[in-house]
């Protein structure tokens, strides 16, 4: 019996085989995934992970793929927590499932007059992915609003981790350093504000994003973290890489810290472009740019 059939027999949720990876990353990269599983609930997820560990099969939890760069193929099991969609709003406290859209939540609570998530209205990730990456913008990030998260720990037990345990720093968190902990749900605390003023800020930022970012092309947002006291985009422009292409992967002419897919880019094209930029910046400025995106093998 093959692996996919055995997973189907676990009766834990939706199982898709030979998926097009293009449908699961914001870069829209060409490639094939062996199998994708969407567990119905926590019990299904635990059952799946026990099976995968027992069989020593590699796997990866993904959100909306807004920071992922796959090689042409992924031969392990991809797991999406799309069914984890619970949402409870009580006063300024929000409890939300890991599979819930960050943008959708940010817009919903902003319209209600809750302030603190305005920064997230342009970030196309899930709650789980946003906590994992400590997603942020406009000098704010998840670390400012997340009070605690519910996780599945390495022993496959449900546990609560408080904000101080999550080690939120610029674009990183405890979860990135400890990928065997899986975010299932987050509790956020916001503040009461004026809905009209909040939406004015969001709409103003949206206009500026459209003007300054290549939103008309598939990308994964900023490629590099900004080094302290400087901007990665400025450095990339200075080394002459604005508009540089490898295959259909191209450094945006609108914003040099974005790499865009102009057609049928492959993960290897984007990776090569990223590593070239990283090497040249290191040689030219002795700055070791940190990549915000994740290479998945």
For residue 211, the surrounding DSSP H or E stretch is helix 195-212
Helix (H, G, I), strand (E, B) or coil at 67: coil
- Catalytic-role residue among 171, 173, 219, 268: 171
pLDDT digits (tens, 9 = 90+) for 117-171: 999 999 999 999 999 999 999 999 999 999 999 999 999 999 999 999 999 998 8
Reported in sequence order, the residue ranges of the chain that DSSP labels E, i.e. its strands, are: 13-20, 32-39, 59-62, 68-70, 73-80, 87-90, 93-97, 114-115, 136-137, 140-141, 146-152, 158-162, 182-189, 191-192, 245-246, 249-251, 259-261, 294-296
pLDDT of residue 94: 98
pTM, to two decimals: 0.94
CA angle, residues 28, 29, 33, in degrees to nearest 5: 105
Residue 7 has pLDDT above 90, yes or no: yes
Answer yes or no: is pLDDT of 1 > 80: no
**CA dist., res. 57 & res. 151, Å (int):** 21
Residue 209 is inside which H or E element, if any? Answer: helix 195-212
pLDDT of residue 290: 95
Band (pLDDT 50/70/90 cuts) for residue 86 is very high
The full set of domains in the chain, from first to last, is 3-80 (3.30.43.10), 87-197 (3.30.465.10), 213-296 (3.90.78.10)
User: Residues 20-45: pLDDT tens digits?
Assistant: 999 999 999 989 999 999 999 999 99
Give 106: exposed, middle or buried? Use CB within 10 Å, 0-12, 13-18, 19+.
Answer: buried
Write a three-state SS string for 239-277.
CCCCCCEECCEEECCCCCCEEEECCCCCHHHHHHHHHHH
Of residues 30, 185, 268, 292, which has the active-site annotation?
292
CA dihedral 102, 107, 113, 117 (to 10 degrees): 40
Nearest Cα neighbor of 132 from 122, 142, 124 is 142
In the numeric block, which tokens belong to residue 250? 């191209």
What CA–CA distance (Å, rounded) separates 169 from 56? 32
Instruction: For residue 9, count CB atoms less than 10 angstroms from its CB and return exposed for 0-12, middle for 13-18, buried for 19 or more.
Output: exposed
Mean pLDDT of 50-64: 96
Distance CA 266, CA 269 (A): 5
CA distances from 78 to 6, 177, 221 (A): 15, 19, 22
**171 catalytically annotated:** yes
Range list of H helices, 29-134: 42-54, 102-111, 127-133
pLDDT tens string 195-250: 999 999 999 999 999 999 999 999 999 999 999 999 999 999 999 999 999 999 99
Q: For residues 63-89, give the mean pLDDT.
A: 95
**Which of 66, 222, 252, 268 is the catalytic position?**
222
- 228, two tokens: 């302290």
Percent residues over pLDDT 90 in the chain = 97
C-alpha distances (whole Å) from 4 to each of 44, 157, 163 are: 15, 25, 38
Residue in 162, 187, 181, 185 with CA at minimum distance from that of residue 86 = 185
| 147 catalytic per annotation | no
- In angstroms, the Cα distances linking 56 to 18, 52, 66, 242, 296 are 20, 6, 27, 43, 18
For the chain, report the end-to-end CA distance as a whole number of angstroms.
26
């Amino acid at each position: 019996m093959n692996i996919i059939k055995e997973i189907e027999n676990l009766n834990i949720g939706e199982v898709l085989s030979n998926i097009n990876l293009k449908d699961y990353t914001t870069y829209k990269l060409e490639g094939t995934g062996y199998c994708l599983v969407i567990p119905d609930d926590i019990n299904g997820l635990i059952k799946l992970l026990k099976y995968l560990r027992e069989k020593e099969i590699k796997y990866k939890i993904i959100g909306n793929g807004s920071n992922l760069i796959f090689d042409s193929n992924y031969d392990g099991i991809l797991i999406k927590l799309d069914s984890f969609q619970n949402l409870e709003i009580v006063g300024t406290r929000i409890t939300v499932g890991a599979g819930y859209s960050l943008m959708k939540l940010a817009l919903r609570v902003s319209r209600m007059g809750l302030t603190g998530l305005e920064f997230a209205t342009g970030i196309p990730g899930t709650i789980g992915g946003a906590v994992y990456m400590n997603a942020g913008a406009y000098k704010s990030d998840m670390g400012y609003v997340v009070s605690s998260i519910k996780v599945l720990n390495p022993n496959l037990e449900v546990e609560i981790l408080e904000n101080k345990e999550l080690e939120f720093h610029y674009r990183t968190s405890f979860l990135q350093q400890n990928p065997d902990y899986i975010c299932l749900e987050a509790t956020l605390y916001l503040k009461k504000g004026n809905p009209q003023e909040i939406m004015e800020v969001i709409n103003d930022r949206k206009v500026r994003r459209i003007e300054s970012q290549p939103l008309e092309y598939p990308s994964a947002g900023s490629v590099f973290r900004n080094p302290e006291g400087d901007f990665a985009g400025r450095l990339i422009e200075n080394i002459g890489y604005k508009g540089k292409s490898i295959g259909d992967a191209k450094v945006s002419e609108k914003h040099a810290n974005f790499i865009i897919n102009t057609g049928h880019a492959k993960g290897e094209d984007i990776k090569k472009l990223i590593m070239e930029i990283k090497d040249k910046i290191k040689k030219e400025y002795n700055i070791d740019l940190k990549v915000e995106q994740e290479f998945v093998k």
